[in-house]
Amino acid sequence: MSFSVTEPSKGTKWLAGALVIGYACITLVPLLWIIATGFKSPTDSIAYPPVVVFEPTLEGYVNLFTERTRATPDMLEAAGEPQTWYDEIVRERGTVISGPSRYGERFLNSVIIGFGSTFLCMVLGTMAAYAFSRFKVPLKDDLLFFILSTRMMPPIAVAIPIFLMFRNLGLNDTHLGMILLYTAVNLSLSVWLLKGFIDEIPIEYEEAALIDGYTRFQAFYKVVLPQAATGIASTAIFCLIFAWNEYAFAVLLTSGTAQTAPPFIPTIIGTSGKDWPAVAAGATIFLVPVMVFTILLRKHLLRGITFGAVRK
Partner 1 sequence: MAEVALTGISKSFGDEVVLDDVTMTIPDGAFVVLLGPTGAGKTTTLRMVSGLDKPDTGTITIGGRDVASYTPAQRDVAMVFQQYSLYPHLTVRQNLEFPLKSPILQTPQAEINQKVSAVAEVLQISHKLDNKATALSGGEMQRVSIGRALVRQPSVYLMDEPLSSLDAKLRSDLRIELKSIQADSGATMLYVTHDQTEAMTMATHVGVLDNGKLVQFGSPREIYEDPISIYAASRLGQPRINVLPSDVFGGAPNKATHIGLRPEQIKQGEGEDSFVQRVEHLGDQTRLHLSFKSHDLITVTDAHTDLKEGDIIQIRPDKPFFFDASGARIS
Contact residues toward partner 1 (CB under 8 A) are 202, 204-205, 207-216, 218, 223, 226-227, 304, 306-312
Q: Are 31 and 284 in contact (CB under 8 A)?
A: no
Which residue, 3 or 307, has its beta carbon nearer to partner 1? Answer: 307
Closer CB to partner 1, 101 or 234, in the complex: 234
Q: How far is the CB of 214 from partner 1 (least distance, A)?
A: 5
Q: Report whether the peptide linkage leading into residue 42 is cis, meaning its omega lies within 30 degrees of zero.
A: no
The nearer residue to partner 1, 270 or 304, going by C-beta atoms, is 304
Closer to partner 1 by Cβ: residue 225 or 251: 225
Contact assessment for residue 195 and residue 132, using Cβ atoms and an 8 Å cutoff: yes
Shortest distance, position 235 Cβ to partner 1, whole Å: 18
Nearest approach, Cβ of 209 to partner 1 (angstroms)?
A: 7
We find the least distance from the C-beta atom of residue 198 to partner 1, in angstroms, to be 14
Provide CB contacts within 8 A for 111, sequence distance 6+: 289
Query: Using CA atoms, how far apart are residues 167 and 308, in angstroms rounded to an integer?
Result: 54
Give the residue with the Cβ less far from partner 1, 68 or 222: 222
The CB-of-304 to partner 1 minimum distance in angstroms stands at: 7
Can you say how many angstroms the Cα of residue 71 is from the centroid of all Cα atoms in its chain? 39
- Cβ-based nearer residue to partner 1, 227 or 259: 227
Distance CA(120)–CA(230), nearest Å, equals 18
Closest-CA residue to 34 (of 291, 278, 284, 263): 284
CB of 300 to partner 1, least distance (A): 12
For residues 1 and 305, which CB has a smaller minimum distance to partner 1 in the complex? 305
Q: What is the rounded distance in angstroms from the CA atom of residue 172 to the CA atom of residue 250?
A: 10
Q: Where are the alpha helices (DSSP H) in 261-304?
A: 261-264, 276-302
80: Cβ contacts below 8 Å, ≥ 6 apart: none
CB of 294: closest distance to partner 1 in angstroms? 23
* b/e code 298-309 from CB counts within 10 Å (16+ = b): eebeeebeeeee
Rounded to 5 degrees, what are φ and ψ at 274? Answer: -120, -5
